[in-house]
A = this chain, B = another copy of it.
Amino acid sequence: MTETARTAAESAGKPPGLRERMRATVRAEVVDVAHRLFTEQGFDRTTVDQIAAEVGLSRASLFRYFGTKEQIVLGRLEESGRLIAEALAARPDDERPWEALRRSFDVLTRRNEQAPEQALTYLRMLQETPSLRAGHHEKQLIWQGLLVPEIARRLGVSPDRPEDTRPSALAAAALACLDVASTGWVACEGTVPLAELLDRAMGALSE
């Protein structure tokens, strides 16, 4: 629904259908192969044709699974956004928005603690490759869009009022802190816990 090319019988039909399952497995394998190649040779030095050939797919078909090369890498961020938004909605109503945002990021810090090595190489690639940095920021804008309504609700602000910049500002600033913390985490090679860097970052803004 977001931007991935979809089939006609998408999120509607109850029976998963053999076709849909095949599609999912192929997608997964593309992601696997591509990630291996990316970490081996770097994102830019890996061509789409190479990935397609390795998976045993035609170039054209690969582009039907993933609209762009970036999406192969950034696809998983879609889910992360939903998770953060859900976590935020689950925070108690009387919690201060800033604190609620901080806590909603724990779904990410926890995941990183569980597979630090993997997260480290993934984030490193994301930060070292300019085109991926750009795409990552686009995703963050989507995350921001997911978080803003809940922040607005907690602030008692009507959602679609572009002249009240407070909800967007809180969400955008929190995500900026998350980025700063992630960058620092990669720079430290993961020696300092991400949660701690994030605490310091967001703490600097709550006085």
Q: Chain B residues with Cβ under 8 A from A138's Cβ?
A: 130, 133-134
Asked whether A172 and B177 contact (CB < 8 A) given A134-B135, A138-B133, A205-B205, the answer is yes
Near B by CB (< 8 A), chain A positions 83-123 give 98
Report the Cα distance A164→B180, complex, angstroms.
10
Partner of A200, one of B130, B133, B164, B187: B164
Near B by CB (< 8 A), chain A positions 168-196 give 168-170, 172-173, 175-177, 179-181, 183-184, 187-188, 192
Count of interface residues, chain A, beta-carbon cutoff 8 Å? 40
A201 within 8 Å of B by Cβ?
yes
Closest to A164 in B: B200
Partner of A184, one of B162, B192, B201: B162
A163 within 8 Å of B by Cβ?
yes
Q: Chain B residues with Cβ under 8 A from A207's Cβ?
A: 206-207
Closest to A199 in B: B165
